[in-house]
Amino acid sequence: MSKVQAFYHKHRTILLLAVFAALCVLPFVVTKALFVRYACNILLFATLAGSLNAINGYSGQMCLGQAGFFAIGAYVCAIFSTRFGVNFWLLLPISGVFAAMVGLLVALPTLKLQGIYLSIVTLGASEIIRIIAQTWEPVTGGALGIKNIPYPWLFGLDTFRPKYYYFIFLLIGVLFLLVTNRVLKSRVGRAWISIREDQIAAKSLGVQTSFYKSLNFMYGAFWAGVVGCAYAPFVNYIEASQFSTDTGFNVLAMIVIGGQGTLLGPILGSMIVTVLTESLRFLDNWRYVIYAVIIIMMMWLRPQGIAGASHSVLAGGKIKRKPVRREGARSHG
Amino acid sequence: MAEQTLTRVPLLEAQGICKYFGGLKAVDHVDMTICQGDIFGIIGPNGAGKTTFFNICTGIFTPTQGRIFFCGEDITAMSPEAVAQKRIARTFQNLQLFKFMTVLENVKIGCHIKTKSNMFDAILHTPTFKRDEAFTTEKSLEILKRIGLFDFRDTLAGNLSYGMQRKVEIARALALDPKILLLDEPAAGMNPLETKALMEFIQALNADGYTIAVIEHDMKFVMNSCNRILVLNFGQKILEGTPAEVKTNPEVQSAYFGKGMVAGEAIR
């Protein structure tokens, strides 16, 4: 493992560019439209899981309501584009901001809640959003949903085809990773992680935990909204049942399997869960049993997830004490 | 050890502090004045209310009664974050490190209040962000060098030995550039050699102009380093005075050290 890591750190830029190039040619190599659609789903859920990971994995809040923020983004996009003909690319940030506002609304009353209590509230909030979408007929179309969401413009390409829509998801995914990576390696990201690690200590060092928790919630919700906005034209038709808590738990499963608190984790999780979902279709609803088994196994055997380091707070809070080498001790005094 | 300065400027003042948890009087009418340049010791048997008193000073608890003043400003009802912004730094009795962050990152969080860059600065890598990051890294490394943890900067804090973890906490607190440093049992879990080194380090910090308040059970440490000592017992103040006064006070001896020869030995 350490060899792989060393290799990665040495050739980081080249490797990442290679992966990006491979992803770019993927829809032209894979000719079967269905597989490209799966690839789109993987990218979509990778970013959605990433947005949840920004909350759960970094500031240690236990949010289960990502489906709600996702729904906000999708509905904002659907409503504004079908009724007012607003451009898709303009709607991406607008959806994000709408979702972030709702995120703030959820965060503010729950600042003092932690762990399971916060989970319950966020779960409730997600359900409330879904039920509003289902019942507010004049705006959301109620149970009938919203049809014929226009396909976005992408350099004149025919985004009706997943082959080209793929690039919208890829763009959002890459943007998300770049931005999140920068945020995490800054004062803000450190403040989030310090809250995850020890809230009292963070406070005693002057980190305004309430502010940073709210900011963290808004950040996660923002990206969920953006992904929702990209999702609506992709499926062309949205209705409330697409945003049930099942979706929320699906995304949660991705970050648990992939590894919370790492940027790679949600991507791996999304790949695994999506591939399983599609390849196990013949089992119908029984595949959920398989999910459950996988999640339980993961929690048991590798609580930090596949990509998670063994020295992670999520690895059960245990730390393996290794003898620390004192290299170069003399030169630095 | 340190000489009494002629003009004593009060820095942190507690006036009639009480903290009751239901019927339990954890801290009961305690007054205290820590002056600029002090190494101020707080001693007392287990359960005397020392840590509770510290928690009140740093805003973690709000006192039932009484006021806390810092540089003449009332900080009684302030949140811990706001107290930290006033540059009152503290460490914790049972280590509250960010265990899964590296030592360097731990210290970097201490620089939080001294930097301003927000999320957009971070995303766009604006000059503010670059300046802040450079400042944070430089300052953190400087502190780590000084406290002797430079070689361990990339080690996870939780992987260090207990004594070193205590040092990381102190380093983190120092990053705030504190006007006063509150240390809650800094020598707990250290071996005698480490304790001695820590004592020297604290004295060196004091010589650099840091005011330090310390809760400690190690009597050698307290009697040799502190110039003022507050003795608590069952939440009540027994005495505030110089080490010599504390040593000779019969009430302190009976309440804290017990009676007879053994107590006398312990002090020396």
Find out whether B68 and B14 touch, Cβ atoms under 8 Å. Answer: yes
pLDDT tens-place string over residues A226-272: 999 999 988 888 888 888 888 888 888 888 888 888 888 899 889 98
Mean pLDDT of A45-58: 91
pLDDT tens-place string over residues A156-187: 777 777 778 888 899 999 999 999 999 998 99
- Give CA–CA dist A58/A212, Å, rounded: 11
Specify the amino acid at residue B218: D
Q: Nearest-CA neighbor of B25 among B54, B61, B72, B64? A: B64
Find out whether A145 and A238 touch, Cβ atoms under 8 Å. Answer: yes
The C-alpha of A318 sits at a distance from chain B's nearest C-alpha, in angstroms, of 9
**A85/B contact by beta carbon, under 8 A:** no
Domains of chain B: 1-87+178-268 (3.40.50.300), 96-177 (3.40.50.300)
Q: Do B119 and A186 touch (CB under 8 A)?
A: yes
pLDDT tens-place string over residues B30-54: 999 999 988 999 988 888 888 999 9
| Cβ count near B5 (within 10 Å) | 12
| Cβ count near B209 (within 10 Å) | 9
**Mean of per-residue pLDDT scores for chain B:** 86
Least confident of A2-6, A129-133, A174-178, B137-141: A2-6
What number is the ipTM of this complex? 0.85
Name the A residues in 179-208 with CB < 8 Å from any B CB.
Answer: 179, 182-183, 185-191, 193-194, 197-198, 200-208
- Give CA–CA dist A254/A49, Å, rounded: 6
**B99/A contact by beta carbon, under 8 A:** yes
Q: Nearest-CA neighbor of B12 among B31, B37, B34? A: B34
Residue A5: the pLDDT is: 73
**Mean of per-residue pLDDT scores for chain A:** 83
pLDDT tens-place string over residues B11-26: 999 999 999 988 888 9
The C-alpha of B109 sits at a distance from chain A's nearest C-alpha, in angstroms, of 7
Mean pLDDT of B52-64: 91
Contacts of A332 in chain B (CB under 8 A): 145, 150-151
Find out whether B18 and B65 touch, Cβ atoms under 8 Å. Answer: yes
Q: Taking CA atoms, what residue in A is nearest to B135?
A: A187
- Give CA–CA dist A173/A92, Å, rounded: 13
**B92/A contact by beta carbon, under 8 A:** yes
Q: Residue A329 above 90 pLDDT?
A: no
**Share of residues in chain B with pLDDT > 70 (%):** 93
| B158 secondary structure, DSSP code | G
Mean pLDDT of B96-120: 89
The C-alpha of A203 sits at a distance from chain B's nearest C-alpha, in angstroms, of 5
B131 Cβ contact partners less than 8 Å away, ≥ 6 residues apart: none
B181 exposed, middle or buried (CB, 10 Å; 0-12, 13-18, 19+)?
A: buried
Q: Residue B193 above 70 pLDDT?
A: yes
3-state helix, strand, coil in chain B (%, to 5): 45, 25, 35
* Tokens read off for A111: 């600042």
**A133/B contact by beta carbon, under 8 A:** no
Which of the two residues, A310 and B210, has the higher pLDDT score? B210
Q: Do B85 and A201 touch (CB under 8 A)?
A: no
